[in-house]
Chains A and B, each alone.
Chain A
Amino acid sequence: MIQAILVFNNHGKPRLVRFYQRFPEEIQQQIVRETFHLVLKRDDNICNFLEGGSLIGGSDYKLIYRHYATLYFVFCVDSSESELGILDLIQVFVETLDKCFENVCELDLIFHMDKVHYILQEVVMGGMVLETNMNEIVAQIEAQNRLEKSESGRQP
């Protein structure tokens, strides 16, 4: 099961924060900060797996992360997930974002936080992997966006 998905930039500013286990707000922020510090220490030639920090749950949990340009994508998972599989999943998620936003960059995530959540929702649901086929996901997102558009001209 995936406990949390965090995306933050090279300075630790959160771009996407999604927890699948309930934590109080202050703890959530602490976890983001702690994860950032753990991940920042890693060189680029080290493996992408980290034992989790103390806040997010203990020895059963691992942090699996990938670094894309200015952003870190971190998935906190327990032992029921395959580490290599999660690495692939992160790649799928990022490529999907790329397809939906057309050459996605950090600014897209900043200004369209809600859309990123919607895309994530089609990939991971309740901490479990829902769909991994990029084309499927993009098609479903586009259909829902069209539905929104048809309802009113006004965008949030």
Chain B
Amino acid sequence: MFGSCCHCHRPGAAGFIRGFGPRMPAPIRLRELIRTIRTARTQAEEREMIQKECAAIRSSFREEDNTYRCRNVAKLLYMHMLGYPAHFGQLECLKLIASQKFTDKRIGYLGAMLLLDERQDVHLLMTNCIKNDLNHSTQYVQGLALCTLGCMGSSEMCRDLAGEVEKLLKTSNSYLRKKAALCAVHVIRKVPELMEMFLPATKNLLNEKNHGVLHTSVVLLTEMCERSPDMLAHFRKLVPQLVRILKNLIMSGYSPEHDVSGISDPFLQVRILRLLRILGRNDDDSSEAMNDILAQVATNTETSKNVGNAILYETVLTIMDIKSESGLRVLAINILGRFLLNNDKNIRYVALTSLLKTVQTDHNAVQRHRSTIVDCLKDLDVSIKRRAMELSFALVNGNNIRGMMKELLYFLDSCEPEFKADCASGIFLAAEKYAPSKRWHIDTIMRVLTTAGSYVRDDAVPNLIQLITNSVEMHAYTVQRLYKAILGDYSQQPLVQVAAWCIGEYGDLLVSGQCEEEEPIQVTEDEVLDILESVLISNMSTSVTRGYALTAIMKLSTRFTCTVNRIKKVVSIYGSSIDVELQQRAVEYNALFKKYDHMRSALLERMPVMEKVTTNGPTEIVQTNGETDPTPLETKPPPSGPQPTSQANDLLDLLGGNDITPVIPTAPTSKPASAGGELLDLLGDINLTGAPAAAPAPASVPQISQPPFLLDGLSSQPLFNDIATGIPSITAYSKNGLKIEFTFERSNTNPSVTVITIQASNSTELDMTDFVFQAAVPKTFQLQLLSPSSSIVPAFNTGTITQVIKVLNPQKQQLRMRIKLTYNHKGSAMQDLAEVNNFPPQSWQ
């Protein structure tokens, strides 16, 4: 089209036409482009240069010139790294891959890996090229193909080419064999069903002498073991061979080709140690087979360089994770303790991380290093401080509480603001568990409130108030200290809230000057009211704090004698406050004065001692199974007696709940350990800190008091008045004739609660009896299981068992649940575990 006119005019412009007239100048080399771009002084200038070059590249691509394609793609990749769009080069990469030249293929494959991904259809076009290249005569071309497949191969590509990879896994060419091993890992990740296919090829992998192949083979074996318990069992027989290889590495003496700072191939050693860890976990025989080598590595490794420490660290992790003998474990923890004293902060960091993981299981051993850990609180490095803090809290116990608390309070004073909230919460928790005396407890709380008062979490305030209420003999002391604390400074809201509440409750003790613990102060009623009014007026007080203050003032009307009129005046002023909360309170209190004065003293009476309902907040899972409703299952009396077996104790500890007895009679008594183990699996990833939660005796069960109609379990009536409608139900489980459906209800006013009604039905020809449904959720959720309608699922779908589950999901995370079903069917005990992942988004978003 442009044809004839351009032909005779400007020579350069004729390059648009193929073969007509003078061509465009050759595309500039990558080096020149880079040089040019570096001269740009502003972002705009750079962008202009890039755009110009892109246009040139585009026209060059259109010319279909093979000679310069590879240069152009290289430039495109450079521009892509700087952040400019390069998608128009994708097809060109494919053309390069299809070329015969190694140079072209090299840059083509690189471009494919950087620019393409499996979401684009274009990438499928590569499959054939890769297939051919996997069989190429030049090993480096084969290497490129393996690399690309192993980086970005989609499932379809992997399926098509797995056979080729498997072939290459058996080659004697070590360069290709090691790449094939990693490629196989990628294939297995994409298409797990293909794992079996690689099994025969793994037979000889560990016989290799080449370390590269050994290394990637161990990676492949590790991947297979992690994915499949069957593979894991199968590969356990490799433990002796792995131990031998490791031994050779340690004992072989100087080997220049593998030497890194005097240690023979530390990377391989670390890999092998990791695989040993996986193989030895939960297996006595394997663990025993590796005991010696682990001890050897632990004692002989040179620790002056980082590589030695990497090996030592991996050894420690392995020792802690397998079933090693106690002497070895103590050795491991001592190594970690030595790490803590190392000058290298990286080493200190990993030591603290590992100690944190082991402190639960080997508490006493870690305790020995407590003082070093506490010293780390003073480290300059923020990451180290955080870990030291977490570890310190884990180490606090009844014996060291006083000393630890001193250090922790000092830390709270001086640490960065990002730590203060966590530290304060941790201190409260520790104090609650181990306080040696009530006075100490109150003092500690006071200290936290005064030093870090504004960082204390909101939920701490009610807990503290409850604590103070229950320490009856300390009331006078507490209120006096709190009063003194806010006299100087009432800007820290949690402190002021607690103080206001206490003054409201115990103001009479304050002015009467009766304090046993310390010198009583002289305070008049007016002075007390002064401070409360200042809180009310202050700009620093939040609405919540003001509410506390106003209520406190009101309460004092029954405890003070001379200042009732003043109180009346204050209360009536706030009747017209613009803050609705305050206004409402003031109006109601006013009404109390005017019309219901006879009720006032009764209403404002001292609060009684409160029952502690929950102890650990979000990390606890509350699970009940209708204790007060006698089910046909309970062949044992309600669990107020001593726990029948240690297994029951384990379950109680794990679940932090009370009634698990229905499970025990149905579990086969010949294998008690496995029943507990399965429950452990059920709750696998759930973090339970339920020590105090297990403490409430089963007899005090009615703390979860429910109105009678809920106990029927027939929750066909909606539990909310304003339900969110239209949440689709799901079939959560359907196997062996047992089907469980979940239907959902949510309240618009309380969106973090989801109520799930399960319906279990049975399509087989025999009833399912002794049916028990259990559920567990991840730790950010809370779960409450109400009692089921019955324990028999009748045959032929003639009836259902219904049961209600309430899930609290304050963080609106995706709902997941593991369920365990046990029942008797056709004369045998059935048990199944399942995961429910298909919750509709409307049930949790």
In whole angstroms, how far apart are the Cα atoms of A22 and B154 in the complex? 12
Which positions 121-143 of chain A face chain B at CB distance < 8 Å? 121, 125-133, 135-136, 140, 143
Query: From DSSP, what is the main secondary structure of chain B's interface residues?
Result: helix
Residue of B nearest to A135 (CB): B257
Tell me if A100 counts as interface (CB < 8 A to partner B). no
The answer to whether B257 touches A25 (Cβ under 8 A) is no
* Interface locus among B179-187, B440-448, B457-465, B762-770: B179-187
Tell me if B307 counts as interface (CB < 8 A to partner A). yes
Q: How large is the interface on B (under 10, 10 to 19, 20 to 34, 35 or more residues)?
A: 35 or more
The answer to whether B147 touches A121 (Cβ under 8 A) is yes
The answer to whether A114 touches B81 (Cβ under 8 A) is no
A126-B151, A156-B107 as given contacts; A82 in contact with B270, CB under 8 Å: yes
* Interface locus among B294-302, B345-353, B687-695, B722-730: B345-353
Tell me if A152 counts as interface (CB < 8 A to partner B). yes
- Point out the residues of chain B lying under 8 angstroms from A114, CB to CB: 30, 74, 77, 107, 110
Tell me if B684 counts as interface (CB < 8 A to partner A). no
The answer to whether A85 touches B101 (Cβ under 8 A) is no
Tell me if A98 counts as interface (CB < 8 A to partner B). no
Tell me if A102 counts as interface (CB < 8 A to partner B). no
Tell me if B393 counts as interface (CB < 8 A to partner A). no
Residue in contact with A88 in the complex, picked from B106, B147, B260, B381, CB distance below 8 Å: B260
Question: For B83, B152, B215, B258, which residue has the most chain A Cβ atoms within 10 angstroms?
Answer: B83
Residue of A nearest to B78 (CB): A113
* Interface locus among B309-317, B479-487, B608-616, B788-796: B309-317
B81 to chain A, nearest CB (A): 5
The answer to whether B260 touches A147 (Cβ under 8 A) is no
B216 to chain A, nearest CB (A): 6
In whole angstroms, how far apart are the Cα atoms of A23 and B403 in the complex? 50
- Point out the residues of chain B lying under 8 angstroms from A89, CB to CB: 267
In whole angstroms, how far apart are the Cα atoms of A135 and B212 in the complex? 12
Residue in contact with B102 in the complex, picked from A48, A83, A130, A151, CB distance below 8 Å: A151
Residue of B nearest to A144 (CB): B140
The answer to whether B350 touches A84 (Cβ under 8 A) is yes
Residue in contact with B77 in the complex, picked from A14, A48, A113, A151, CB distance below 8 Å: A113
In whole angstroms, how far apart are the Cα atoms of A92 and B267 in the complex? 11
A79 to chain B, nearest CB (A): 10
Question: For B30, B106, B345, which residue has the most chain A Cβ atoms within 10 angstroms?
Answer: B106
The answer to whether B380 touches A46 (Cβ under 8 A) is yes
A25 to chain B, nearest CB (A): 7
A34 to chain B, nearest CB (A): 14
A20-B151, A47-B346, A84-B306 as given contacts; A151 in contact with B101, CB under 8 Å: yes
In whole angstroms, how far apart are the Cα atoms of A75 and B574 in the complex? 60
- Point out the residues of chain B lying under 8 angstroms from A104, CB to CB: none
Indicate with 1 or 0, residue by residue over B175-199, a CB within 8 angstroms of chain A CB atoms. Answer: 1001100110110000000000000
Tell me if B630 counts as interface (CB < 8 A to partner A). no
A36 to chain B, nearest CB (A): 13
- Point out the residues of chain B lying under 8 angstroms from A110, CB to CB: 34, 38
- Point out the residues of chain B lying under 8 angstroms from A132, CB to CB: 212, 215, 260, 265, 267-268
A18 to chain B, nearest CB (A): 8
Tell me if B67 counts as interface (CB < 8 A to partner A). yes
The answer to whether A83 touches B346 (Cβ under 8 A) is yes
Residue of B nearest to A110 (CB): B34
Tell me if B138 counts as interface (CB < 8 A to partner A). yes
- Point out the residues of chain B lying under 8 angstroms from A48, CB to CB: 346
The answer to whether A85 touches B270 (Cβ under 8 A) is yes
- Point out the residues of chain A lying under 8 angstroms from B70, CB to CB: 156
The answer to whether A82 touches B314 (Cβ under 8 A) is yes
- Point out the residues of chain B lying under 8 angstroms from A92, CB to CB: 260
In whole angstroms, how far apart are the Cα atoms of A25 and B215 in the complex? 33
In whole angstroms, how far apart are the Cα atoms of A118 and B143 in the complex? 12
A60 to chain B, nearest CB (A): 13
- Point out the residues of chain A lying under 8 angstroms from B179, CB to CB: 125, 130
Tell me if B547 counts as interface (CB < 8 A to partner A). no
Tell me if A155 counts as interface (CB < 8 A to partner B). yes
The answer to whether A131 touches B313 (Cβ under 8 A) is no
The answer to whether A126 touches B186 (Cβ under 8 A) is yes
The answer to whether B106 touches A118 (Cβ under 8 A) is yes
B276 to chain A, nearest CB (A): 14
Tell me if B407 counts as interface (CB < 8 A to partner A). no
Residue of A nearest to B307 (CB): A88
Which positions 1-48 of chain A face chain B at CB distance < 8 Å? 14, 16-18, 20, 22, 25, 29, 45-48
Tell me if B9 counts as interface (CB < 8 A to partner A). no
The answer to whether B384 touches A47 (Cβ under 8 A) is yes
- Point out the residues of chain B lying under 8 angstroms from A144, CB to CB: 102, 106, 140
Residue of A nearest to B29 (CB): A156
Tell me if B71 counts as interface (CB < 8 A to partner A). yes
In whole angstroms, how far apart are the Cα atoms of A29 and B186 in the complex? 26
In whole angstroms, how far apart are the Cα atoms of A54 and B152 in the complex? 24
Question: For A25, A84, A113, A114, which residue has the most chain B Cβ atoms within 10 angstroms?
Answer: A84
A111-B34, A132-B267, A133-B212 as given contacts; A87 in contact with B186, CB under 8 Å: no
The answer to whether A131 touches B215 (Cβ under 8 A) is yes
Residue in contact with B381 in the complex, picked from A18, A47, A128, A152, CB distance below 8 Å: A47
In whole angstroms, how far apart are the Cα atoms of A135 and B107 in the complex? 23
Residue of A nearest to B73 (CB): A156
Which positions 328-351 of chain B face chain A at CB distance < 8 Å? 345-350
Tell me if A50 counts as interface (CB < 8 A to partner B). yes
The answer to whether B151 touches A125 (Cβ under 8 A) is yes
A97 to chain B, nearest CB (A): 16
A133-B212, A151-B101 as given contacts; A50 in contact with B383, CB under 8 Å: yes
The answer to whether A126 touches B185 (Cβ under 8 A) is yes
A140 to chain B, nearest CB (A): 7
In whole angstroms, how far apart are the Cα atoms of A8 and B514 in the complex? 68
Residue of B nearest to A32 (CB): B83
Residue in contact with B29 in the complex, picked from A47, A131, A155, CB distance below 8 Å: A155
A62 to chain B, nearest CB (A): 10
Residue of B nearest to A87 (CB): B306
- Point out the residues of chain B lying under 8 angstroms from A25, CB to CB: 80, 83, 85
Residue of B nearest to A147 (CB): B102
B717 to chain A, nearest CB (A): 41
In whole angstroms, how far apart are the Cα atoms of A110 and B78 in the complex? 9
- Point out the residues of chain B lying under 8 angstroms from A83, CB to CB: 346, 349-350
A47-B384, A125-B151 as given contacts; A84 in contact with B78, CB under 8 Å: no
The answer to whether A130 touches B270 (Cβ under 8 A) is no
In whole angstroms, how far apart are the Cα atoms of A84 and B314 in the complex? 9
Given known contacts A126-B150, A152-B103, what 18 new A-B pairs fall within 8 Å (CB)? A25-B83, A47-B384, A82-B274, A84-B346, A84-B350, A88-B260, A111-B31, A114-B107, A125-B183, A126-B183, A129-B219, A132-B212, A132-B265, A132-B268, A136-B212, A147-B140, A154-B67, A156-B30
Can you give 26 contacting A-B residue pairs, CB < 8 Å? A14-B83, A46-B382, A46-B383, A49-B383, A82-B270, A84-B309, A85-B310, A88-B266, A88-B307, A92-B260, A110-B34, A111-B30, A114-B30, A114-B107, A114-B110, A118-B106, A125-B182, A126-B150, A126-B183, A130-B178, A130-B179, A132-B265, A147-B102, A148-B106, A154-B67, A156-B107
| A-B residue pairs, 8 tightest by C-beta | A84-B310, A47-B345, A126-B150, A132-B267, A47-B349, A156-B71, A22-B117, A46-B381
